[in-house]
Each structure stands twice: as structure tokens, then as C-alpha cells.
Amino acid sequence: MCGLVSSAARSLPSAGSQRLVGRFPSGPGPNSRPAAMQTAVVRCVPTETKLTISLRLGPGNGSQRHLQREQSESLRTALGRIAHNLLKAQAKPGKGQKAAQAPAQASAPPVVLYLGEEPVPGDTSNAEAWQDGAVLQVGEARYRVERNPPTLTQLRLPSSLLAGFPVCPKVELEFGEASHSLFEWLREADGGWEAAASSRVFTPSNSYIGLKLKLRCHPGDGRRFGAAVELESGGTVEAGPGACTFDSRQWFTRQGLEEPQLRVVSYNILADVYAQTEFSRSNLYPYCPPYALEIDYRQNLIKKELSGYNADIICLQEVDKNVFTNSLSPALDAFGFQGVFRIKEKQHEGLATFFRASKYRLLSQHDVTFSEALASDPLHFEVLEKISANPTVKEKVLQRSTAFQVCVLQSLKDSSKKLCVGNTHLYWHPKGGHIRLVQIAIAFRHLQRVTTEVYPGIPVIFCGDFNSTPNSGLYEFVTKGHISADHPDWTSNGEEEQCSMSLTHSFKLKSACGEPAYTNYVGGFQGCLDYIFIDINMFEVFQVIPFPSHEEIICHLALPSVSHPSDHIALICDLKCK
């Protein structure tokens, strides 16, 4: 994603290749006001010592000034600075103007701030003086003061636009909400621009192929609107891939669910940091065209896929930090989700959990890193003691940066209903079964604590890429509640790396989507590694969303492909709370 930034009141870093069209002048629309009166925008927040007064000063249309003054300074001093600035501006030639003859005896124009009919006393502090609705008089010119109006601090468009795929701008505001802002989408037409849509998310149809888009955003707070910003796309809308693997699945997810039902998605979305390595391009995914491995392309598919599932809870693995911040979080926000992110230390990807904000609120988070928990939490002392018998194993487990994300959600409809959602991505090595067993042992002890000590009896949903097939010791442990010390997986990397222990847990869990033939389908490996484990005492499964057909997957040899953004397949299930 690339983009730019524009703001009336502050200068902001501007990145990317898109062209700033500029602040949209007050005209027709929510921003209109009497032409005679200009605007002075005042930004004044208690956490800062200064305030900023932004206004156009000088001959002609003037030029935009941002005066930074101490909040505690007297209004008299600030008004004196404005008069001084105006004199300076008058001495200089304005844009497109001849140099003004310097007035022989330049004298400061009268500068007064009115609140109602009365001038504000000069000894008032700036913080107090510059109230919303005050009027600043500078010579002949009058400015309406707008204090802390809704302001766009960031507006970005993705760099790849595909017909048939939703375009979700990244919108960041101060003193406003994206949901209270207005959006206007425009399309290139006969050398000009033509209105196309007025929703926050816009999906260009095939008739937009080859055209650029423009977005105009009026930031709002539900009460008023601030200065609009216009943004032109860097490139044009391109043709989409046609049918995608998730299109047919979305026939089953058109309807969102109502409590006590909920839809859960677990999906390893393939981190950009892995997809774009030379090794991945040449060895792991040689069948996938390079453009389809690019994150900007894949993001289009991922956003359409995730939004079309109408889920309540989405657990993602291999989420790049940038992808979370600049792409997924803004997009899913527009579709009604709130999300939390947990990065893996030393790596640039991690876990993300999203939940439908109209149904749940985040009550608390209990994230851990397996290595840290093992090394320092007395809860895991027994496990630490056992693996200390084999320094190689201990070293390996402690070196991993594998994280476990745990969110406790509370139903907004019935505050007594809570839910513990776990999300993880275990060690990947085919011979790492023993390492994964140690990781899952820590996960369960941690979950046991959250669901007994912190929130006694709350139901558990445990999603993730467990890198374990249904015949693994890990799957047996999770679904049966125990694994013996002589299970072959304790020696999955040979006798010298053995670390045997018996494990138990007291949850009653099953894989909600069963044991599909594969959830990961790459050229060199196909297998079931991902699961949504649910508490069988608390939930019943009433719909498992069918997987794409085998033909759909192998028509591009394997995953990822132009019609599927990841090497994994999303697991989706509809549950009912018992």
C-alpha cells in the first residue's frame, strides 16, 4: 500500500507515489460555509504544551500559515504575532502577484478575537481563548475559529486495484471517526472526473478497468465535518483473476449469524516476508506467477475473501506487521471488525485476532511467548525441568519466538457470555513434533489458568496452524486430553533429541472442521495442519463451510495461485453455543 497524507493543521510525512490533489476547498457538500468568512483551524490538546493556529494570511488568497504558540501564552502576544505575520506577508509578493509596493508606513492591522460580540481579553491564555465558534478579525478579513475539528491525519489507497475486489482506504483521523466520515469515489471520464460511489469501501466493476480512481474524504465526528482531502490512485484499475477459490465457499456465508450462533475463521495467510524470498519463488512455489506472490495482489484477494465470510471471529497466522497496520486492520475495520496483533519476536510476522465489534468487546488479553513463559513462569516449572534433561531440546524450544495469542471476548448482548479465543502458529519443521508437544503443553497450562483462575468456566476456541497432522501426537493430545511419555513423537528428531514426558489437560476439545485431507497444499507437501478446536461441552457445530474442490486447487498445480492468496486454506465453521 502506498499513499499520502494531507492535513490542514499539521505537516505530516508524505510517502508513496500517489499525487496529492490537495485540500478540497469548502464548496458544495458538508463542508460548505458562508464564502465571506474564512476558517482558522486551532489544534489544542491537553497532552501538549503548544497549540497550532492554521489560517491563510496575506494578499490575494493568502498563503497557509501554521502558527505554533504556547498554550499558556497570552492571547495578546499571539494576536501580535498574527499581525506581524500579516505585515511580512504583505511585504512579500503573493503567489501570481506582482510585488506589492511596500507601504511607506506599514502599520499593524487591528487583530481581535471575538467570542460572540465581545473581544476576548488579551490576558486570556491561548488554550482558553481560541474556542470553537470564536471569530478572528485580521484587518478586513474575518475567520471563524474551528477548534479541534475532525482532521484526516492519513488517507491511503492500495497500490494495486483489481476489478471486482473491494478497495478499502486506510483512514486515520484526529477528532473524528471513519464511520462518521463521508467518502466520494470518482472515476476518470472524458478528461475529467465523474462521481462513482459514496461508500467507504468501493468495489470497481469491470467497466473501470484502465481508469484511475479518486477518493475524496470529508472527515467527520458525527456532529461536524473538517477539511476534505482528495487522493488520486497511483495506478489504474486492472482486470481481476476471474473466479477465486473462495467464491463458491461464500455461497454458504452470505448471511451473518445471530447469537447464540457464531462463525469462526482460522487462516494462515502466508506472510509476505516468506512469500517473496528467492527460495519461495524458485523452490516452494515455482508454479505461482511472481505477480500473484506480491503482497499488493494477494491483499486484494485476502480482503475480499475475509470480508465475504461474514465471520464473527477471525484468527490469522503469518500476518506481517505492515499488512496488519496498513491493510488488514483498516479493511476489516470498514467491515465491522476490531483486531489485535501479536508480533513474533525476531520476526516480522505474527498473529492477528479480529472480532465483530457489534457483537463483542475485548475484555482482556493474555498473550505469551512459549519460550518466555517456559523460562520465567512457575506455572511451567515441571515442563522446564523435564526438558532441561536434554539441553539440545531446551535450547531449541527457548530459541523459538512462537507466540500464543489469547483474547477474552465478552458478548455485548449478554455480558455474562464470555469467550476465550486462542490463536497460535507452532514450530514448522517436519521433524519438530517433540518441540510442538512442548509448545502445546505450555499453551494448555496457560489456557487452563485463564479459564479457571481468571474467568472460571468460560468456553474455549483454540485456532491455529499447529503444523501437525491428524495422526500426530499433538492432535492426539489436544483431542484426547493426554499423551504418554513413550509416544513416538517425543523422538521425532531422533533419540538424541528425545524429551519424553506424559501430558494431560482437562478440556474436552474436538476439531470443528474435522480432519480434511489437507489445509496446506504446496508443490512439495499436502496435509492437514490447521484446526479450530472447540469445547464440545459448550459448542455444537452446525455448519462446516466446504473446502474448494480438489480440481479448483490443482488447476494451478498447487497453492498459492492467481485465484488463491495463500498456501493454506481458510477453515470456517458455524457454531452454536449450547
Catalytic amino acids? 465
* Interface with ligand 4LC, residue 280, by CB under 6 A: yes
Comparing CB distances to ligand 4LC, the nearer of 248 and 526 is 526
What the block records as the C-alpha cell of 462 is 483454540
CB under 6 A: which stretch of 71-79, 102-110, 289-297, 462-470 binds ligand 4LC? 462-470
Which residue in 26, 151, 468, 563 binds ligand 4LC (CB under 6 A)?
A: 468
Restricted to residues 112-171, the positions that interact with ligand 4LC (CB under 6 A) are: none
Q: Which of 181, 300, 439, 467 touches ligand 4LC (CB under 6 A)?
A: 467
Q: Of 413 and 480, which has the nearer Cβ to ligand 4LC? A: 480
Q: Which is nearer to ligand 4LC, 246 or 475 (CB)?
A: 475
Nearest alpha-carbon partner for 563 in 290, 307, 241, 285: 241
Which residues in 229-258 contact ligand 4LC (CB under 6 A)?
none
Residue appearing with cell numbers 480434511:
516
Strand, helix or coil at 274?
helix
| End-to-end Cα distance, the chain | 43
x/- map, 529-548, ligand 4LC, by CB under 6 A: x-------------------
How many other C-beta atoms are found inside a 10 Å radius of the C-beta of residue 48?
A: 11
Burial 403-438 (b: 16+ CB within 10 A, else e): bbbbbbbbbeeeeebbbbbbbbbbbeeeebbbbbbb
One DSSP character per residue, 509-531 reads: EEETT---S-SEEETTEEE--EE
Q: Is 27 in the site for ligand 4LC (CB under 6 A)?
A: no
Rounded to a whole number of angstroms, the minimum distance from the CB of residue 297 to ligand 4LC is: 18
CB of 436 to ligand 4LC, least distance (A): 8
Find the shortest distance in angstroms from Cβ 219 to ligand 4LC: 39
Between 190 and 279, CB nearer to ligand 4LC: 279
- The CB-of-545 to ligand 4LC minimum distance in angstroms stands at 23
Among 183, 274, 309, 370, contact with ligand 4LC (rule: CB under 6 A): 274
Residue 102, class by beta-carbon neighbours within 10 Å (0-12 exposed, 13-18 middle, 19+ buried)?
exposed
Strands across the sheet containing 151-157: 2-4, 151-157, 170-174
- The verdict on 282 binding ligand 4LC (CB under 6 A) reads no
Among 430, 488, 514, 546, binds ligand 4LC (CB under 6 A): 430
- Asked whether position 469 contacts ligand 4LC by CB under 6 A, the answer is yes
Tell which positions 51-70 bind ligand 4LC, by CB under 6 A. none
Cβ of residue 51: shortest distance to ligand 4LC, in angstroms?
A: 49
On whether the CB atoms of residues 182 and 218 are closer than 8 A, the answer is: yes
Q: Which of 289, 348, 294 is nearest to 324 (CA)?
A: 348
For residue 475, the minimal CB distance to ligand 4LC (Å) is: 8
Q: Which of 205, 207, 277, 399 binds ligand 4LC (CB under 6 A)?
A: 277
518 touches ligand 4LC (CB under 6 A): no
Integer Cα distance of 443 and 198 in angstroms: 46
How far apart CA 313 and CA 357 sit, in angstroms, is 10
Nearer to ligand 4LC among residue 25 and residue 430 (C-beta) = 430
Q: Say if CB 274 and CB 560 are below 8 A apart.
A: no
Least distance from ligand 4LC to the Cβ atom of residue 435, Å: 11
Calculate the alpha carbon distances from 255 to 213, 258, 354, 415, 515 in Å: 30, 9, 18, 24, 25
Residue (256 or 470) nearer to ligand 4LC, CB: 470
Shortest Cβ distance from residue 27 to ligand 4LC (Å)?
52
Q: Tell me how far apart the 2 most distant CA atoms of the chain are, in Å.
A: 99
Tell whether residue 428 is a contact of ligand 4LC (CB under 6 A): yes
Cβ–Cβ contacts within 10 Å for residue 281, how many? 15
Residue 310 or 371 having the CB closest to ligand 4LC = 371
Site membership for ligand 4LC, residue 519 (CB under 6 A):
no
Q: Residue from 46, 96, 279, 416 that binds ligand 4LC (CB under 6 A)? A: 279
Tell whether residue 472 is a contact of ligand 4LC (CB under 6 A): yes
- CB nearer ligand 4LC, residue 43 or residue 568: 568
Q: How far is CA 459 from CA 244, 293, 380, 405, 464, in A?
A: 34, 38, 22, 16, 17
Minimum CB separation of residue 342 from ligand 4LC in Å reads 16
> Using CA atoms, how far apart are residues 536 and 262, in angstroms rounded to an integer?
15
Q: Please, what is the minimum distance in Å from the beta carbon of residue 532 to ligand 4LC?
A: 18
Cell 475463521 belongs to 265
Q: Angle 433-449/391-399 helices, nearest 10 degrees?
A: 60
CA 242, 243, 245, 247 torsion-angle sign:
positive
- Closer residue to ligand 4LC, CB minimum distance, 31 or 268: 268
Determine, following the binding rule CB under 6 A, whether residue 399 of this chain makes contact with ligand 4LC.
Answer: no
What SS3 state is found at 287?
coil
Total residues in contact with ligand 4LC, by rule CB under 6 A: 15
Cβ-proximal residues to 368 (8 Å cutoff; 6+ apart), any chain: 377, 403, 404, 406, 442, 446
Instruction: Using CB under 6 A, list all residues that contact ligand 4LC.
Output: 274, 277, 279-280, 284, 428, 430, 467-469, 472, 520, 525, 527, 529
